[in-house]
Amino acid sequence: MKLLYLGAGFVGTCSAAVMADSGHDILIYDIDQIKIKMLGSGDRDLIQNCLFEDGLGDLLVQNKDQIKFSSDYNDVVKNLDTLDAVFMCLPTPEKKGSKGESDLSYYYLAAEELAKNLAKRNGEAQNKYIVIINKSTVPIEMIDETEKIMKKHGVKNFGLASNPEFLVEGKAIYGSLKPDRIVIGAWTEEDFKIIRNIYQRFYSSPTVKYIEVNPKEAAAGKLLANYYLFSKLAICYDVIGRTCETFDNLQFENLRKIISTDPRLGSWGLFDSFFAGGSCFIKDTASLAYQLEEKGVDVSYIKESLRINNFQCDNFYNRAGSEAQFSFKNKAVAILGVAFKRDTNDVRNSGAIEIVNKLLDDQVKEIKIYDPAAMWMFKKVFDVEKDSRYKVINYYNSEKDSLSGTSACMILTDWPKFREIGSVIKQKCPAPYLIMDGRRMLSAQFDELQNLGYDIIAVGSPFLKGK
């Protein structure tokens, strides 16, 4: 089938790559020319630098004849007459300064432009049926807005559907090739049929749950699933982790073993961290709360997860002063990991952004950053051209170089290799020295490091004063 993707981000590109691999003809359009150049380069390294997703480069190179990247809208217009479906993969961040409302401006802009051009289809092309399928995470009633836009411009022969994306960044390609579920929300059997053809590879798979519902259920299911996951993290931080921080001799990992054995509870979400970041959980939870509050519902319980997450970051940082009597002023501090989690270069809503801002406010001498994949993205957030305070932030190519000459370090991303960093700390940063472990990466070595004189502040542990 002939498919158009609007938006070449994590969702659009990963989905398009899998659809190309499924034998469809893909055109993917994005307004970001640099992104399109990198992703369409056919060069695995450039693709990886742009979107760090395991397997994405290989899949795009293997299927290069099936997928065309463009930042020229004329290419979209030229193809409209023969398209079977359009996938909307636009950003829907939280509106700045709002009470959780989604910023739908990117979506509206793309939908308006699409509608205007679809309405201009001539002759035979007017009769060609096209389904507009939304993959962005949007408010529950958004499908009604999309319909209004199409009708306002006089678009004929179109269907609307919702196909929320459940990919997990860092495992997006694996997850898209072997999805646990495909959720399709549509109003008519005709639209369901077309989408079944697009997803034939998965529709016929015995291992994939192919769920057909209406478009509002699909949109609500996505928001509720993300809130549920986020709330599990908040409970882990604020109840399980806090209990382990409060009593001596409670090892978080041992409590996790006891709790996760119960299949009713499951193991996902039982990891302690200084913050749950990323592009989705926070904004989707805020959006759900906003939509319900607009309808007069008491959303204090939903909002509590957001409050806890912010408190967790503040508390982690403040423990340096309150428990280790450590001041960051005029000190060099190593930051290990700036991606919001392992296996991605995504820094959207990364807790490292909060921490670096706090260190700048506390007049730190130098922030020495190392991350195996995300430094390029992080540099864009702390652009020295925009604020001269950022000149104390420096980037290093190894853990060793970033740790060298520092008085404290903070482990902020759960990159597996950081579990081995204890030996580098011992070599480069003799005690007295403050280790702040925001991910419990060094939990197996806490005793040894404490006995060597290191002060340790870790989520899910009381303060461990160096001996």
Ligand X SMILES: NC(=O)c1ccc[n+]([C@@H]2O[C@H](COP(=O)([O-])OP(=O)(O)OC[C@H]3O[C@@H](n4cnc5c(N)ncnc54)[C@H](O)[C@@H]3O)[C@@H](O)[C@H]2O)c1
Range in contact with ligand X (rule: CB under 6 A) among 90-98, 124-132, 189-197, 210-218: 90-98
Q: Which residue's CB is nearer to ligand X, number 138 or number 195?
A: 138
Q: Which of 34, 45, 99, 109 forms a contact with ligand X (CB under 6 A)?
A: 109
User: Which amino acid, one-letter code, is at 280?
Assistant: C
Residue 57: left (phi > 0), alpha (psi -120 to 50), or beta?
alpha
Q: Does 455 bind ligand X (CB under 6 A)?
A: no
Q: Does 50 bind ligand X (CB under 6 A)?
A: no
CB of 220 to ligand X, least distance (A): 14
Q: Does 280 bind ligand X (CB under 6 A)?
A: yes
Q: Which of 1, 2, 31, 452 forms a contact with ligand X (CB under 6 A)?
A: 31
Q: Does 165 bind ligand X (CB under 6 A)?
A: yes
Q: Strand, coil or helix: what is 213?
A: strand
Q: Which residue's CB is nearer to ligand X, number 277 or number 422?
A: 277
Chain position carrying tokens 């990323």: 278
Q: Which residue's CB is nearer to ligand X, number 91 or number 438?
A: 91
CB of 413 to ligand X, least distance (A): 16
CB of 373 to ligand X, least distance (A): 15
Q: Does 10 bind ligand X (CB under 6 A)?
A: yes
The sign of the dihedral angle between the CA atoms of 205, 208, 209, 210 is: negative
Cα–Cα distance, 305 to 90 (Å, whole number): 26
CB of 327 to ligand X, least distance (A): 37
Q: Which of 70, 163, 279, 407 forms a contact with ligand X (CB under 6 A)?
A: 279
Q: Does 110 bind ligand X (CB under 6 A)?
A: yes
Q: Which residue's CB is nearer to ligand X, number 143 or number 393?
A: 143
In angstroms, what CA-CA distances link 97 with 103, 161, 227, 289, 384?
11, 30, 21, 15, 24
Contacts of 363 (CB under 8 A, 6+ apart): 328, 329, 330
Q: Which of 4, 59, 83, 89 forms a contact with ligand X (CB under 6 A)?
A: 89
* Whether residue 215 has a cis bond before it, omega within 30° of 0: no
In angstroms, what CA-CA distances link 311 with 200, 275, 294, 358?
45, 9, 25, 14
Q: Which residue's CB is nearer to ligand X, number 137 or number 305?
A: 137
Q: Which of 169, 191, 238, 272 forms a contact with ligand X (CB under 6 A)?
A: 169
* Residue nearest ligand X (C-beta atom): 9
Cα–Cα distance, 360 to 382 (Å, whole number): 11
Contacts of 464 (CB under 8 A, 6+ apart): 446, 450, 455, 456, 457, 458
Range in contact with ligand X (rule: CB under 6 A) among 27-35, 263-271, 319-327, 396-404: 27-35
Nearest to 136 by CA among 175, 181, 104, 98: 104
Q: Does 146 bind ligand X (CB under 6 A)?
A: no
User: Which amino acid, one-letter code, is at 361?
Assistant: D
| Residues in binding contact with ligand X, number by CB under 6 A | 27
Q: Which residue's CB is nearer to ligand X, number 94 or number 371?
A: 94
Nearest to 231 by CA among 140, 304, 283: 304
What is the binding site for ligand X (CB under 6 A)? 6-12, 29-32, 35, 89-92, 106, 109-110, 135-137, 165, 167, 169, 279-280
